[in-house]
Chain A
Amino acid sequence: MSSNIYDFSSLTGSIHSWLSGLMSSGWVIFSEMVLVGLVFLLMYALIGLFLVYLERKVCAIMQNRVGPNRVGKWGLLQTIADLIKLLLKELIPIRKSDALLFNLAPFIVIICSFLAMAALPYAKGLQAIDFNIGVFYVMAVSSLSVVGILLAGWSSNSKYSLIGAMRSGAQIVSYELSVGLSLLAIVVFTGSMQLSTIIESQANGWWIFKGHIPAFISFIIFLIASTAEINRGPFDLAEAESELTAGFHTEYSGIKFAFFFLAEYMNMFIVAALGATVFLGGWMPFHVGNWEGFNLIMDYIPSVVWFFSKTFFLILIIMWFKWTFPRLRIDQLLTLEWKYLLPISLLNIVVIAFIVLMGWHF
């Protein structure tokens, strides 16, 4: 890289050396974990609240409305006011529900999205843990949230919730395959599951550009399948408010409902961030061949801006889906996955493996 002025590793390194001067190495690791945890907690809440606000504004624009505009400038404080309202609301206990599982389910869902956030690279040198199996870890952790959804549906002792949970189980289990296979395409190109290696490999061009048509197909499949995996429209069958009132979280109220709500938006952020990292180069700036001047200007945009603009671009696409399309039916949903997306992804993987073997990619 020609420019390292925005490298976060110098900042994190200086914090580490400052802490090392103060206490022994065991305490350093402990206090760093606490620090990172607090930062993630804050980031989680802020991004979640902002995404809720963004969704309301985006859908308002698509529907010829103004959207929230009363609380704060341009309604920016609206979601914070909503959160305070949800915090103060009564938690209604459900008769004949399984109290332990009922209370546990929102935490499982929110912890899953929390865990996935830890492995994402937010900027150059800004990544909590750089696993050597990063892609696999994010996939594995985010697919655990189906357990929370199933538990929520089962323990609510409500028929609507149960149908929602059943749908959600079928949906997430099937679409997990396509998400995994489409990510595998890039793993085959890079030869590594480590997210930092995948990003470094895109220094001279993002995979969506240099991976020929198969990478583009994987990107499209990833977008569709991940939209389904996070239960968002047009695949929001698990909560389908016109059919099942609110699906698996019908019986939840107050902050427990807010947990589901926040986790849904953070899952959207996670899949968008993963897509941006794997297909669109993560925090890598946009470079074109040997246009030295252009590439230099691109380098001056901080890597964190690159990461978040790509992520929010994908989020806007996912929101655009939701506010344009009607909802699919459960059998159509499964047909789409098992009869179309899965065979295409499998074929795609074979083609990519062939390309890599012949050395045809850049």
Chain B
Amino acid sequence: MSEEIIKDVIVGENEDYIINMGPQHPSTHGVLRLEVCLKGETVKYLTPHVGYIHRGIEKMCEANTYQQLIHLTDRMDYLSAHMNNEAVCMIVEDALQVEVPERVKYIRTILDELNRLASHQLWWCAFGMDLGALTSFFYGLRDREHILDIFEESFGSRLLHSFVMPGGLMHDVHPNFQKRIKDFIKYFRTKLPEYDQLLTGNVIFQNRAKGIGMMSRETAIGFGVTGPSGRGSNFSCDVRKIAPYGAYDKVQFNEILETGCDVFARYKVRMAEMWESLSILEQLVDNIPEGDFTAKMKPIIKLPAGEYFRRVETARGELAVYVVSDGNKSPYRMKFRTPNFSNLFVMNEIASGYKIADLIAISGSLDLVIPDIDR
């Protein structure tokens, strides 16, 4: 059996022009390896190989208490660190039936949206760079810096802020928090049109992005492609709408859906989501209620024996967390359904038949974060 496989591989190698894109490649945004079979410049098929940054986070969670494993979830999708933390915290709160204060819910939702904005900004930087427009990288980073400054002031860290704790927050936010967010909203509303001027309206960009990487709604549902990538194929999958958590039931916002199904549609979804996030922030930032920053929690958290499930919308799609507890202070089994894992494996379906340059655009439009795939 194994010999047959080896023979197949060798024969395939002789017939096809196989190129290993990654694990060290500037456009896979991490240690992803794509085994791409080419015919001239056209991609015949591709196989993603994962596991280069597998750290066994699910297994490590079984050896840590619930307060400790928050810090591991940061490291999955490091650009949606806050959403990952929040998912685990909500599971613990559900299991213990703790009612978190309103203030905590508002602040968490604000942080969700700030994190989503920062993530989409970085995606925009990297997407422009994938298509060869290097200047967009610095425009995006310039604005992302403002959000990271807000994070730094309140939590002390800029990227992996394990600020959310089961039951509430680590500590209260900085007194400047609201003022800085309001300043940022005002600032970013003037800067976001620049993104459109630089990239969206560019004729070369539109030619590169339109009509490639077609992902039908059926494909998106079939492969479980969620988040902005799925919504670009008219697949309504926004957990914030379907199952509101935090303060999402108290704000007005639209779920962005595009029917283009191509790279440009996914691009437009993310650009529109940035505007939507700004409007959510605007509705929340003035209405943060006074109160405690955490609910009363026992120093040692033990979840009652049973199974718990919770899902949140990260910047890349639906993150589902599944916990099996046997009543101890650490989980018996922890399973993360991460959005990038599902989003990655649709690549072969949507990139075959396009040029190698399109492959880069398509993988950029899926906005993959590799540590989230491997965990």
Give A contacts to B, CB under 8 Å: 59, 62-65, 159-160, 163, 167, 233-234, 236-237, 240-243, 245, 323-332
Contact = CB atoms under 8 A, between A and B. Distances in A.
A330 B355 contact: yes
B202 A331 contact: no
Contact of A65 (B38, B41, B130, B138): B138
A234 B133 CA distance: 8
Contacts of A332: 204, 207-208
Contacts of A160: 19
Given A326-B202, A327-B132, A159 B138 contact: no
A326 B355 contact: no
B26 A245 contact: yes
A324 B133 contact: yes
Interface string B12-30: 0000010100000111000
Nearest to A60: B138
B300 interface: no
Given A159-B17, A245-B26, A331-B355, A324 B135 contact: yes
A242 B129 contact: yes
B66 to A, nearest CB: 41
14 contacts: A59-B134, A62-B135, A64-B142, A234-B204, A243-B356, A243-B357, A323-B134, A326-B133, A326-B204, A327-B131, A327-B204, A330-B41, A330-B355, A332-B207
A233 B355 contact: no
Contacts of B272: none
B275 interface: no
B358 A329 contact: yes
Contacts of B139: 63-64
A65 B145 CA distance: 14
Q: How large is the interface on B (under 10, 10 to 19, 20 to 34, 35 or more residues)?
A: 20 to 34
Most buried by B among A160, A236, A326, A330: A326
Nearest to B358: A329
Given A326-B202, A329-B207, 5 more contacts: A167-B41, A245-B26, A324-B198, A326-B131, A330-B357
Contacts of B357: 237, 240, 243, 327, 329-330
Contacts of B41: 163, 167, 330
A241 B138 contact: no
Given A242-B26, A326-B208, A159 B19 contact: yes
A240 B207 CA distance: 17
Interface in B176-211: 198-199, 202, 204-205, 207-208
B360 interface: yes
Interface of B: 17, 19, 25-27, 38, 41, 128-135, 137-139, 142, 198-199, 202, 204-205, 207-208, 355-358, 360
B42 to A, nearest CB: 10
Nearest to B359: A243
Which of A234, A240, A329 neighbours the largest number of chain B CB atoms within 10 Å of its CB?
Answer: A329
Contacts of B137: 63
Given A159-B17, A236-B132, A243-B356, A329 B208 contact: yes
B133 A325 contact: yes
Contacts of B208: 326-329, 332
Nearest to B199: A326
Nearest to A324: B135
A324 B202 CA distance: 9
B204 A243 contact: no
Nearest to B206: A326
A242 B135 contact: no
Contacts of B131: 242, 326-327
Contacts of A234: 132, 204
Contact of A325 (B25, B204, B356): B204
Nearest to A325: B204
Contacts of A326: 128, 131-133, 199, 202, 204-205, 208
A329 B135 CA distance: 19
B132 A63 contact: no
Contacts of B132: 233-234, 236, 240, 242, 325-327
Nearest to A332: B207
Given A63-B135, A331-B355, A242 B27 contact: yes
Contacts of B27: 242-243
A62 B139 CA distance: 10
A85 B25 CA distance: 24
Nearest to A170: B41
B31 to A, nearest CB: 15
Contacts of A329: 207-208, 355, 357-358
A332 B138 CA distance: 27
A213 to B, nearest CB: 23
Nearest to A160: B19
A81 to B, nearest CB: 23
A302 B360 CA distance: 49
Contacts of B142: 64
Nearest to B24: A245
A131 to B, nearest CB: 37
Given A63-B138, A243-B27, A328 B204 contact: yes
A62 B130 CA distance: 18
Which residue of B130, B134, B139 has the most chain A CB atoms within 10 A of its CB atom?
B134
Nearest to B132: A327
